[in-house]
């Protein structure tokens, strides 16, 4: 089939590459001419394993090309994926003006009926707004080509986005007509042949809700275990064993029960707030999700509290921060919990020594006074304490004895539980591990 993808950020580019891998003919379009120019020479502007290779294969097969003109991308397309950004407004609601503009430009440039598929995460009932934008533009042009609107949410995680798209747990398609459902089913048929999985065909509103409900549920799971972590610290118990044992219950599952620094990234924080907002607009106070968000904000302040407890005054100390990406396997620092930690430590008057294997470039401008270190050991050397903010594997490989040698004061705040708590204590380090008893609780 012939497909256009409007907005080639993380979601759009992965969608374009994967659709081409399924044999479809794809045009990726973005207003950002510089981004398009670099994509044309094969450069992917962010870190996503497997994506550059998949895109190159699509381009070599003549199935993918890029343009910065809607007039070049849309004519002839049967399905247009809208993958533009939905930035958060001050009040937590998403700004949908890029979605509206994308829809209007599809109607302006379409030469035949198009299925407009929302991939950007949007609040329930946005499909109706897109339909309205298409209709208004059609009226302005004086012709109504009968475009359809579908919701086809993605569930891709950064770092495993290609696999999540080509081998999904489920495909969700919301449409309000048999014709739109048939077009989307035809689009996904090659994927379902390769990788049979549940195909959930529903109406547009339900599909929109599935996306928000899924992300909000996962975020709530994380906040739940972070709240349990606080109790474990106070009570003298081990949250990681609690999570493992809970996870053996098939009804609960172990995934997304890693206590730590809370959730970050471009999706969970924004989606939780947006879901609360749309619920309120519809007349429902989603107090559970407001609490999920509150616990997450609190989780990001945990390291500073521990540093104050263990160092007394944080001012004028050097603090090594290991990891700035919002999770391992990505260079993305959007809403990364590490940023809250670094901001708080700097506000307390400390100097930070930062390390991350791939994400440091994303924070250089934000922290002009920080020391940027190419190696984790360089960050640790001369630091009075270390805080682990991202659980990169290379940090796990640092031996407790080596930590003790490098740090000026032997103070470790392990907010992602990368090290064995008991091994650190045995090496003579003063340790706060998320979800493990504090010294006071251990002794009582
Ligand atoms: C998420 C969803 O998983 C995906 O389905 C959706 O399409 C986009 O949003 P992503 O943001 O890439 O994907 O990251 P994810 O792996 O879900 O992690 C989100 C955040 O939660 C990270 O900051 C991570 O460190 C944190 N997290 C995750 C935990 O703190 N504990 C866990 O157990 C799992």
Query: What is the tens place of the pLDDT at every residue in 250-279?
Result: 999 999 999 999 999 999 999 999 999 999
Rounded CA-CA distance 145/51 in Å is 35
Q: How confident is the model at residue 350 (pLDDT cuts 50, 70, 90)?
A: very high
- Ligand 1 atom closest to Cα of residue 261: 30
| Token couple for 127 | 């499909």
Ligand 1 pocket (Cβ < 6 Å) reads: 154-158, 215, 218, 222, 256-258, 260, 262-265, 267-268, 326-327
| Confidence at residue 93, expressed as pLDDT on a 0 to 100 scale | 93
Number of H helices, E strands in the chain: 18, 14
User: What is the pLDDT confidence band of residue 403, given thresholds at 50, 70 and 90?
Assistant: very high
Protein residue with its CA nearest to atom 9 in ligand 1: 267
Output the pLDDT for position 158.
Answer: 93
Of 243, 303, 327, 334, the one to substitute when testing ligand 1's pocket (max ligand atoms within 8 A of C-beta) is: 327
Contacts of 55 by beta carbon, 8 Å cutoff, 6+ apart? 13, 16, 17, 20, 39, 42, 44, 64
pLDDT of residue 126: 96
Ligand 1 nearest atom to the CA of residue 265, by list position: 11
**How far, in Å, CA of 348 to CA of 313, rounded?**
8
Nearest CA to ligand 1 atom 19: 263
Contacts of 193 (CB under 8 A, 6+ apart): none
Compute, in angstroms, the gap from residue 263 CA to the centroid of ligand 1. Answer: 6
- Ligand 1 atom closest to the Cα of residue 260 is 30
* pLDDT tens track for 319-342: 999 999 999 999 999 999 999 999
How many Cβ atoms sit within 10 Å of the Cβ of residue 366?
A: 12
Among 115, 129, 234, residue whose Cα is nearest residue 185: 115
Residue of the CA atom closest to atom 3 of ligand 1: 157
Residue nearest to atom 25 of ligand 1 (CA): 327
**Where are the chain's structural domains?**
2-202, 300-443
Tens digit of pLDDT for each residue in 225-244? 999 999 999 999 999 999 99
Strand partners, 267: none
- Tell me the sheet residues that pair with 351: 318
Which atom, in ligand 1's list, is nearest to the CA of 257? 33
Ligand 1 atom 26, closest CA: 263
Question: What CA dihedral angle connects 200, 186, 133 and 92, to 10 degrees?
Answer: 40
- Alpha carbons 191 and 90: distance in angstroms, whole number: 39
Half-sphere exposure of 331 (CA within 13 A, CB side): 15
CA distance 309 to 125: 48
Q: What is the pLDDT of residue 20?
A: 98
| Nearest C-alpha neighbor of 353 from the set 304, 320, 311, 389 | 320
How far away, in angstroms, is 69 Cα from ligand 1 center? 33
What is the token pair recorded at 185?
A: 């089913």
Residue to probe by mutation, ligand 1, list 152, 265, 337, most atoms within 8 Å of CB: 265
Considering the entire predicted model, what is its pTM?
0.95
How sure is the predictor about 439, in pLDDT bands with cuts at 50, 70 and 90? low
- In CATH terms, the superfamily for domain 2-202 is NAD(P)-binding Rossmann-like Domain (3.40.50.720)
**Residue 175: per-residue pLDDT:** 98
Give the residue with greater pLDDT, 294 vs 120.
294
Answer left, alpha or beta for residue 323, where phi above 0 means left and psi between -120 and 50 means alpha: left
Q: Could you tell me the two tokens for 356?
A: 């991350």
- Which residue's CA is the nearest one to ligand 1's atom 2? 157
Is residue 407 classed exposed, middle or buried when 0-12, 13-18 and 19+ CB atoms within 10 A define those classes? buried
Residue ranges in 22-172 assigned as alpha helix (H): 33-40, 51-60, 70-73, 97-109, 126-141, 161-166
> What is residue 44's predicted lDDT score, i.e. its pLDDT?
94
Mean of pLDDT values over 278-291: 98
Residue 332 token pair = 């993305």
pLDDT at 237: 97
**CA-267 nearest atom, ligand 1:** 9
Q: Nearest C-alpha to atom 22 of ligand 1 is from which residue?
A: 263
- Work out the average pLDDT over 356-384: 97
Report the pLDDT averaged over residues 131-153.
Answer: 93
Task: Look up 232 and say whether it is catalytic.
Answer: no
Mean pLDDT of 418-429: 96
Determine which helix (DSSP H) or strand (DSSP E) holds 243, and give its type and residue range. helix 239-247
CA of 268 to the centre of ligand 1 (A): 7
Residue of 18, 83, 267, 389 with catalytic role: 267
Mean pLDDT of 175-198: 98
In this predicted structure, the answer to whether residue 442 has a pLDDT above a threshold of 80 is no
Taking the C-alpha atoms of residue 293 and residue 366, their distance in angstroms, rounded to an integer, is 24
Question: What are residue 95's phi and psi, to 5 degrees?
Answer: -85, 115
Closest CA to 73 of 156, 58, 82: 82
Rounded Cα distance between 296 and 276, Å, is 15
The answer on pLDDT for 143 being more than 90 is no
Fold type of domain 300-443: Rossmann fold (3.40.50)
Fold matches, 2-202 and 300-443 = yes
Residue 301 CA to ligand 1 center (angstroms) comes to 19
Cα 332 to middle of ligand 1, angstroms? 12
**Both structure tokens of 146:** 């009968």
* pLDDT range class, residue 145, cuts 50, 70, 90: confident
Mean pLDDT of the chain: 96
444, pLDDT greater than 60: no
Do 414 and 431 touch, CB atoms closer than 8 A?
yes
39-85 confidence digits (pLDDT tens) = 999 999 998 999 999 999 999 999 999 999 999 999 999 999 999 99
Residues 6+ apart with CB under 8 A from 234: 438, 441
């Amino acid at each position: 089939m012939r497909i256009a993808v409007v907005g080639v950020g993380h979601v759009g580019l992965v969608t374009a590459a994967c659709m081409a891998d399924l044999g479809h003919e794809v045009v990726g379009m973005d207003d950002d001419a510089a981004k398009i120019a670099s994509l044309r020479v094969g450069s992917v502007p962010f870190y996503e394993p497997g994506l550059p290779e998949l895109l190159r294969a699509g381009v070599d097969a003549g199935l993918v090309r890029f343009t910065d003109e809607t007039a070049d991308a849309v004519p002839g397309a049967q399905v247009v994926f809208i993958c533009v950004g939905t930035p958060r407004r001050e009040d937590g609601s998403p700004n949908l003006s890029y979605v509206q503009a994308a829809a209007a430009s599809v109607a302006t440039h379409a030469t035949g009926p198009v299925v407009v598929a929302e991939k950007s995460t949007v609040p329930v009932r946005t499909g109706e707004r897109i339909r309205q934008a298409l209709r208004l533009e059609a009226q302005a042009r004086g012709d109504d080509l009968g475009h359809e609107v579908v919701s086809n949410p993605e569930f891709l995680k950064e770092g495993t986005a290609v696999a999540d798209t080509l081998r999904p747990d489920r495909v969700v398609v919301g449409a309000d007509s048999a014709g739109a459902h048939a077009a989307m089913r035809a689009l996904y048929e090659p994927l379902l042949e390769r990788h049979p999985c549940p195909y959930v065909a529903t109406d547009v509103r339900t599909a929109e809700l599935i996306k928000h409900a899924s992300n909000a549920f996962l975020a709530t799971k994380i906040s739940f275990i972070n709240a349990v972590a606080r109790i474990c610290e106070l009570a003298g118990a081990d949250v990681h064993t609690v999570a493992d044992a809970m996870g053996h219950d098939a009804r609960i599952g172990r995934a997304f029960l890693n206590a730590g620094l809370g959730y970050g990234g471009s999706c969970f924080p924004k989606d939780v707030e947006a879901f609360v907002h749309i619920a309120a607009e519809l007349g429902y106070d989603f107090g559970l999700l407001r609490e999920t968000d509150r616990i997450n904000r609190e989780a990001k302040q945990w390291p500073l509290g521990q540093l104050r407890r263990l160092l007394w005054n944080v001012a004028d100390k050097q603090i090594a921060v290991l990891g700035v990406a919002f999770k391992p396997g990505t260079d993305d620092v959007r809403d990364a919990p590490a940023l809250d930690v670094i901001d708080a430590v700097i506000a307390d008057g400390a100097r930070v020594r930062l390390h991350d294997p791939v994400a440091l470039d994303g924070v250089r401008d934000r922290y002009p006074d920080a020391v940027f270190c190419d190696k984790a050991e360089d960050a640790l050397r001369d630091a009075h304490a270390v805080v682990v903010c991202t659980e990169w594997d290379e940090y796990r490989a640092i031996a407790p004895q080596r930590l003790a040698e490098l740090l000026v004061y032997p103070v470790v705040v392990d907010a992602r539980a990368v090290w064995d708590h008991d091994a650190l204590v045995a090496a003579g380090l003063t340790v706060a591990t998320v979800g493990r008893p504090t010294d006071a609780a251990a002794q009582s």
